């Protein structure tokens, strides 16, 4: 994170914590409390929106997760304590969703997006300009496309009679309906297709900042490409790796549209990750309270990653 | 030595080119499908040369039912959502960037924390909440939620861009009696034009492609944005007209791709990250 420049120019701008001091810049010095309020006034529209539409739902989430709120019928919901969570951890479908979320995240985000992104960025350092530009454009287009469109494109790619099938037939390899036999693999690949550009951009930026002299010196000393990557490049970009992994993971945890379009979580529940499970519980089984408990768990895992991410940034705000 | 190094470099460049081209080809296949199928009278699920180039697919979808109404809905949702986000973020970023206060640090840390929360997780509670307060199935409710969910990142980006505008110019204006609001509107924002453009385009693109939020919060078909109405090509209508689906995808995706290209070209590579993820 670029450290915010601390403006310590001639005009001192601190709001004096105690009584007003002569350093105050305003033409008409006011009392500090009123002054602070006036200065923070522009924050209020954002604050109101955030409180009403983001903090509000999160607080509401924390509340209804402990109730038996249902979608239909029932006028009142009652407080059920941790019952929803106990139900969840006993439910094999929930455990299946946790497992699939884990598989999806590790395959597509930690391994796929991250490694391929780094690989692309590293290759781009050496490749010729036209190839670099072309590859960048294609990969970034996949990233900019709306989620649902990406879902359809990959649906067409993986379905029986789709492009992948056609290639396999052409190579005289056995073809199959990937969305049916290995749905979690197909949606993971879809997420790699869609999300790799982000890692590529992060790593390209990071690699560009490594001074040329360092890698060149190692090259002259006869260090091979892999060794240079392992011993010099990777340690130098380790913070970018950390932040990138964190953001990829958070992004992947909340993927819904892509999987929804490709498989609806099926067949059966073979590609039902936590967001899809949550949706099904809420709207097919009308268990809003229970679904919210699942949402709260997802939110907690996200918060945990979010805190680690902030730690990694070690931002001085 | 120099010679071997340079010849080694040529080999390496060729190897890198080859590697990149393989990856590029893999990534390009699904994209090729959508472009070719949209022009193909007999499109199916494979990438293949069109049987006969035709614009029939586009003719079939370019009517108010299938395309114009959903796109207009998208435009209303994302336009107002983005406007709200950018105005609120600019106002909020100003005191955070300009004045020091004990509240700044906790506020910015909360914002950074909220930036990376999985919004998908709270959609079920948001739905339940919106039912309670009668905001369900309303454009304004969806717009407010869009704006709120995009705000943390927008404030964060905006503050970082604003920090790059030197204060000296504003100080002169203050001495001349300009208010903070005047100096924000007349001096700071014009000077950080590219930054504002990045926040605007980024927010718009994120909302334009968002499926889950309108999918949950809007129920009436007339109000559906393109991200949700595209689903209609599947299931409900029995046979899927892949050519039309592809044509719709092209029409729906083009605006965001153009916006991205415009801003990326103006601001150079890696703009979308805006320094927000630099380790």
The CA distance from B149 to B137, in Å, is 18
The CA distance from A290 to A87, in Å, is 8
Q: What is the ipTM of this complex?
A: 0.86
Q: How many CB atoms lie within 10 A of CB B9?
A: 12
| Interval A235-239 mean pLDDT | 86
Give the H or E element holding residue B168. helix B168-175
Per-residue pLDDT at B11? 86
Per-residue pLDDT at A185? 93
The CA distance from A117 to A135, in Å, is 12
Is A248 in CB contact (< 8 Å) with chain B?
no
Backbone angles phi, psi at B28, to 5 degrees: -80, -25
Of A139, A239, A279, the CB nearest to B27: A139
| Interval A72-96 mean pLDDT | 82
Chain A contact set for B150 (CB, 8 A)? none
Per-residue pLDDT at B236? 53
Q: How far is CA A68 from CA A81, A155, A310, in A?
A: 9, 37, 35
> What residues of chain A, 24 to 43, have a C-beta less than 8 Å from chain B?
25-27, 36, 39-43
Give chain A's mean pLDDT.
Answer: 83
Q: What is the pLDDT of residues B84-96, one digit of tens each?
A: 999 999 999 999 9
Residue identified by tokens 């790059």 is B164
Per-residue pLDDT at B225? 94
The count of C-alpha atoms lying within 13 angstroms of the C-alpha of A257, restricted to the half-sphere facing its C-beta, is: 26
The count of C-alpha atoms lying within 13 angstroms of the C-alpha of A95, restricted to the half-sphere facing its C-beta, is: 6
B142 contacts: CB under 8 Å, gap ≥ 6: B77, B81, B213, B214, B217, B218
Nearest Cα of chain A lies from the Cα of B4 at a distance, in angstroms, of 11
Digitized pLDDT (tens) for each residue of chain B, 279 residues in all? 555 667 877 888 898 899 999 999 999 999 999 999 899 888 778 787 777 788 888 988 888 888 899 999 999 999 999 999 999 999 999 999 888 878 888 888 888 888 888 889 899 999 989 998 999 999 999 999 999 999 999 999 999 889 888 888 888 888 888 787 888 888 889 888 888 998 999 899 999 999 999 999 999 988 999 999 888 877 654 567 888 899 999 999 999 999 988 887 766 544 444 444 443
Q: What share of chain B is helix, strand, coil (3-state, %, to 5)?
A: 75, 0, 25
The CA distance from B232 to B245, in Å, is 9
Per-residue pLDDT at A216? 79
The CA distance from B170 to A283, in Å, is 53
Give the H or E element holding residue B114. helix B104-115
Chain B contact set for A296 (CB, 8 A)? 121
Report the C-alpha dihedral over residues A174, A177, A179, A183, rounded to 10 degrees: -40
Give yes or no for a cis peptide into A267 (omega within 30° of 0).
yes
Angle of the B193-209 helix axis to the B139-163 helix axis, nearest 10: 150
Report the C-alpha dihedral over residues A214, A217, A218, A221, rounded to 10 degrees: -170
Residues in a beta bridge with A131: none
Rg value, chain A, Cα: 25
Chain A contact set for B23 (CB, 8 A)? 116, 119-120, 135, 139
Q: How far is CA B113 from CA A3, A105, A299, in A?
A: 17, 20, 12
Q: How confident is the model at residue A145 (pLDDT cuts 50, 70, 90)?
A: very high
Per-residue pLDDT at B22? 93
Q: What is the pLDDT of residues A186-227, one digit of tens each?
A: 999 999 999 999 999 999 988 888 888 887 788 788 777 788
> What is the SS3 assignment for A196-236?
HHHHHHHHHHHHHCCCHHHHHHHHHCCCCHHHHHHHHHHHH
Tokens representing A125 are: 């350092």
Residue identified by tokens 């494979």 is B46
The CA distance from A157 to B219, in Å, is 30
Which of A11, A42, A46, A58 to substitute to test the interface with B, most B CBs within 10 Å? A46
Report which of B101, B102, B86 is spatially closest to residue B162, judged by C-alpha positions: B86
pLDDT at A39 over 80: no
Which of B111, B122, B127, B184 to substitute to test the interface with A, most A CBs within 10 Å? B122
């Amino acid at each position: 994170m670029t450290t915010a420049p601390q403006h310590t120019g001639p005009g001192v701008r601190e709001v004096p914590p105690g009584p007003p001091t002569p350093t105050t810049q305003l033409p008409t010095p006011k009392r500090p409390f009123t002054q602070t309020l006036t200065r923070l006034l522009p924050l209020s529209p954002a604050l109101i929106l955030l409180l009403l539409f983001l903090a509000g739902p999160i607080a509401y989430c924390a509340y209804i997760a402990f109730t038996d709120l249902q979608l239909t019928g029932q006028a009142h919901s009652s407080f059920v304590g941790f019952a929803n969570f106990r139900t969840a951890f006993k439910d094999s479908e929930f455990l299946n969703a946790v497992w699939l979320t884990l598989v999806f995240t590790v395959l597509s985000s930690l391994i796929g997006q991250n490694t391929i992104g780094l690989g692309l960025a590293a290759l781009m350092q050496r490749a010729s300009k036209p190839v670099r530009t072309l590859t960048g454009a294609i990969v970034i287009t996949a990233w900019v496309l709306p989620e649902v469109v990406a879902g359809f494109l990959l649906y067409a790619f993986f379905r029986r009679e789709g492009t992948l099938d056609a290639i396999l037939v052409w190579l005289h390899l056995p073809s199959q309906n990937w969305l049916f036999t290995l749905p979690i693999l197909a949606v993971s690949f879809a997420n790699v297709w869609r999300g790799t550009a982000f890692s590529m951009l992060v790593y390209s930026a990071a690699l560009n900042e490594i001074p040329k002299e360092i890698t060149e010196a190692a090259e002259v000393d006869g260090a091979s490409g892999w060794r240079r990557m392992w011993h010099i490049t990777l340690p130098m970009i380790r913070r970018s790796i950390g932040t990138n992994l964190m953001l990829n993971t958070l992004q992947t945890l909340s993927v819904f549209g892509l999987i929804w379009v490709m498989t609806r979580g099926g067949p059966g529940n073979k590609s039902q990750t936590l967001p899809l499970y949550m949706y099904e519980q809420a709207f097919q089984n009308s268990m809003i309270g229970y679904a919210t408990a699942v949402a709260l768990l997802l939110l907690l895992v996200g918060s945990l990653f979010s805190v680690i991410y902030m730690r990694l940034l070690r931002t001085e705000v | 030595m120099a010679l071997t190094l340079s010849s080694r470099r040529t080999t390496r460049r060729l190897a890198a080119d080859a590697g990149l081209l393989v990856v590029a080809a893999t990534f390009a296949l699904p994209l090729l499908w959508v472009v070719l199928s949209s022009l193909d009278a007999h499109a199916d699920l494979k990438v293949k040369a069109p049987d006969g180039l035709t614009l029939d697919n586009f003719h079939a979808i370019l009517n108010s039912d299938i395309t114009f109404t959903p796109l207009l809905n998208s435009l209303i949702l994302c336009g107002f959502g983005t406007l709200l986000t950018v105005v609120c973020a600019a106002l909020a970023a100003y005191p955070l960037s300009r004045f020091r206060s004990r509240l700044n640090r906790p506020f910015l840390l909360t914002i950074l924390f909220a930036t990376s929360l999985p919004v998908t997780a709270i959609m079920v509670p948001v739905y339940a909440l919106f039912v309670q307060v009668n905001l369900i199935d309303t454009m304004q409710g969806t717009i407010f939620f869009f704006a709120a969910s995009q705000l943390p990142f927008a404030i964060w980006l905006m503050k970082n861009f604003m920090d790059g505008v030197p204060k000296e110019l504003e100080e002169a204006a203050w001495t001349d009696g300009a208010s903070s609001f005047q100096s924000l509107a007349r001096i700071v924002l014009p000077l950080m034009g590219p930054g504002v453009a990045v926040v605007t385009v980024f927010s718009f693109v994120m909302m334009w492609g968002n499926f889950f939020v309108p999918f949950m919060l809007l129920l009436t078909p007339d109000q559906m944005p393109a991200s949700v109405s595209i689903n209609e090509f599947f299931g409900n209508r029995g046979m899927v007209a892949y050519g039309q689906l592809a044509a719709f995808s092209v029409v729906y995706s083009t605006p965001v791709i153009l916006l991205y290209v415009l801003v990326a070209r103006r601001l150079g590579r890696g703009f979308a990250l805006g320094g927000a993820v630099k380790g």
